[in-house]
Amino acid sequence: MSSQESLSHYRVLARKYRPNFFKEVVGQYPFVEMIQNALSQPKIPGGILLTGTRGIGKTTLARLIAKTLTCHKLDNQRSISPLEPCGLCASCQSCSLDTHLDIQEIDAASHTGVDDIRGLLESCHYRSLSGASYRVYIIDEVHMLSKSAFNALLKTLEEPPLHVSFIFATTEAHKIPKTIISRCQQFYLRRLEDQELKSYLKTICLKENISCQDAVYDLLVQHAEGSIRDAFSLLERAILLAGKELKESVIRKMLGLPQYAQVHETLRLLGKQDISALLVHVQQLYYEGVDPRRLLEQIAQGLYRIVLEQFSARNRSQEDWASLTSYFGISDITALWQCIVQGFEELEKSMFPFISLEMLLIRMAHMKSLPNLEHILDVWSGHALSQAQISDSNVQSDSSDKKSDRKKRWPVKKIFVTFFIF
């Protein structure tokens, strides 16, 4: 296989692994089962609404529903359980090729007007062209339709022809008129869990004979944020870049992330408050292509790892974060975390993200040199105690009273410290 063929081979991975059956849909149990049950009923819902965040498989499920409704083998036996399209009949095959005459798919984001919907609704009244039992209309991003388009749609949804089914997909169900929603059977799809995405990517890599470090799966899953489409897209980019061997160092570069050692060094210099060396170091990272926002994310994650080293026996990283625990106490990390949260907002709004990052790091290093509240209270407590001792010696009170005074002050300090930290 030439390199060009190899590239095109991997570009179609998403299509290659697109589910052909309900049982192949990843991470949407029990919603898939509910959809199968709804389709098994003698009366099919005139409108099906699939809602959920981006990239979790709404359009894929809509196509599977359309495939099931038009499958010739299921014409008179949709009550079988679990319901699946046969995948072999002429109808199923044209579904797989996206050439089915009775399945019409429109993107409401680019067809928002009433004329677009009217044209579609007029064809509802004709019998199917392929001999399938149903004509299916998939309207993606349906919330983008205009008010008049929704009104036109509503009339048909109130009394849909028996051989017609509408499938709507949207990320923003709250923008759809209630009159439309009430005439649909609604299914809420969910964001995939990290572990589900990770095992899915592992399965794909195994099938494609791709060697992938475990840390790479974690990075891809972390950046996909529960979206199977994004996870797939990232995996394809990684394969195009690195071939059949996916190493963490290469994928970090692809994602604009600094390497672990670079994040470690950033935190070490921050912990030492060596601002000059810190600025030289982050400038070097910037020239190497590290995105300022990504670096800040990694600094936040590094601080989180340092906390885990100090307080949790679970989820400890194999990387060496323990060596940084001497630089950062819990009150340091808490204060720096607040600073980072504000820093993300500043970087988002900034015209000069790198300069904003530099200013933020200077602020963080400076903040670390400030005495924390616990220290201030220690000083204050010692000062107050010495004042009390002078006063006590004047009245010649006994030593047991001094001890009880001191004991009374400590809880106040602890309450202040606890309040400040949490």
Under the rule (CB under 5 A), what is the footprint of Zn ion? Answer: 71, 73, 85-86, 89, 92
Residue 108 and residue 142 in contact, taking contact as beta carbons nearer than 8 Å: yes
Shortest distance in whole angstroms from residue 76 CB to Zn ion: 13
Q: What is the smallest separation between the CB atom of 24 and Zn ion, expressed in angstroms?
A: 15
Residue 361's Cβ-side half-sphere holds a number of Cα atoms within 13 Å equal to 31
Residue 88 or 206 with smaller CB distance to Zn ion: 88
Q: Which is nearer to Zn ion, 84 or 140 (CB)?
A: 84
Query: What is the enclosing helix (H) or strand (E) of 252?
Result: helix 248-254
Alpha-carbon distances of 43 from 123, 134, 183, 249, rounded to whole Å = 21, 12, 14, 55
User: Rounded to the nearest whole angstrom, what is the least distance from the CB of residue 15 to Zn ion in the complex?
Assistant: 19
Among residues 132 and 357, whose Cβ is nearest to Zn ion? 132
- Cα 160 from Cα 213, distance rounded (Å): 52
- Smallest distance from the beta carbon of 89 to Zn ion, in angstroms? 3
Nearer to Zn ion, 73 or 253 (CB): 73
Taking the C-alpha atoms of residue 25 and residue 65, their distance in angstroms, rounded to an integer, is 12
Q: How far is the CB of 311 from Zn ion (least distance, A)?
A: 56
Instruction: Pick between residue 90 and residue 261 the one whose CB is nearest to Zn ion.
Output: 90
Residues 57 and 35 sit within 8 Å (Cβ to Cβ): no
Which CB, 51 or 91, lies closer to Zn ion?
A: 91
- The answer to whether 172 touches 207, Cβ cutoff 8 Å, is no
CB of 106 to Zn ion, least distance (A): 24
Distance between CA 19 and CA 17 in Å, rounded?
A: 6
Structure tokens at 176: 């759809």
Rounded to 5°, angle at Cα 178 from 173 and 180: 85
Q: How far is CA 293 from CA 48, 103, 212, 341, 346, in A?
A: 40, 43, 26, 12, 10
